[in-house]
Amino acid sequence: MSERPSLDLSDLPTFGHGPRSPTWWGTLGFMALEGMGFALAAGAYLYLATLWPNWRLSAPHPNHWPGTIVTILFIISVVPNHILHGHAKQCAIVPVRIGLVVMSLLGLAPLVVRWFEFPALNIYWDTNAYGSMLWVLLGLHTTHLITDVGDTIVLTVLMLTRHGYSGRRFGDVGDNVFYWDFVVLTWIPIYLLIYWMPRLG
pLDDT tens digit sequence for 117-163: 999 999 999 889 999 999 999 999 999 999 999 999 999 999 988 76
- Given a contact cutoff of 8 angstroms between Cβ atoms, the answer to whether 17 and 171 are in contact is yes
Q: Is residue 1 part of a domain?
A: no
Looking at 7-11, 126-130, 162-166, which range is the least confident one?
7-11
Residue 159 lies in a domain: yes
- pLDDT, greater one: 184 or 198: 184
Q: What is the pTM assigned to this prediction? A: 0.86
> Does residue 140 sit within a domain?
yes
Per the structure, the complete domain to which residue 77 belongs is given by 29-200
Number of domains present in the structure of the chain? 1
Evaluate whether residue 6 is within a structural domain: no
- Each residue of 80-95: pLDDT tens digit? 999 999 999 898 999 9
Under 8 Å between Cβ of 83 and 99? yes
Q: Considering only 55-59, 123-127, 147-151, 180-184, which range has the smallest mean pLDDT?
A: 55-59
In a domain, 18, yes or no: no
